[in-house]
Structure 1
Amino acid sequence: MRTYELMFVVDPRLPDEDVVALADSYREMLTGQGGEVTKEESWGKRKLAYPIDKLTEGTYHLFYVSAEDENPFPEVERRMQQNEKVLRYLTVRTDDGRLRYREGAQQEAAPAPAPAPASAPATDEEESQ
């Protein structure tokens, strides 16, 4: 089973109810195409790295999706591309280790032991004494 992240940025002027409805429709499309949404996050409004259509903010939404060998994204990506409310979207295939790290399942890294003090090699003068 493969895991993916699907993030999309929506026009910030869109009411929250419309953003939720849009996310629900994309979730239904993903599950209808053979994917399983394992986790969903709404990041809210954030500043964009660069202006898109003269907008400096966007509403971010993230899906974590698990799918068998078939790709559940072509229809969803096509709909996102056609929707003027969606500013940008990105689908990334992730590995399980990275997903566990994000969910906090990875244990805290133990502090590295302090290196032992290195003794300087003896010089010829010290050896002769």
Structure 2
Amino acid sequence: MKKFIFLMVFASLSACTSTPKLAEDGDPVPASRLYGYLKKSDAQLVVIHDSVLDGGCMIRLSIDGKPAADIFNGEIAYFGVTIGTHKLVARPLTKCKKSELSEEAINVKAGDALLRRIAATAIQSIPLPSQ
């Protein structure tokens, strides 16, 4: 009986953790909430918002100080970025209790495909799945 209770507690705790989603798991951000960096460019930046701590939280993603998209939990956005260093900023907008402003600098080379995850407290790099 103790083993059963332990397994049930472990299962319930593990159900509350956030695991990184892959790009194909997200719903695309609607065009009405995409503001820039939409054309094909030197490299592609893919951003997914999967912070389960703030279910209805909208995050404003800015690239180099310009709004790029407003992203809800479970959504994904694709951006074309040029070669060089870019500053990403994720700012909570609505219904955000635990999310905080986060920033990251990315260095882009021609042909790069960068995958980033917006979590409650940071923009995180997600390694691309190996083929």
Please state which band the TM-score falls in when normalised by the shorter chain: under 0.3
Q: TM-score, normalised by structure 2?
A: 0.26
Instruction: Report the structure, 1 or 2, having the larger helix content.
Output: 1
The structure that has the greater radius of gyration is 1
Larger RCO (CA within 8 A; separation ≥ 6):
1
Q: Which has the higher strand share?
A: 2
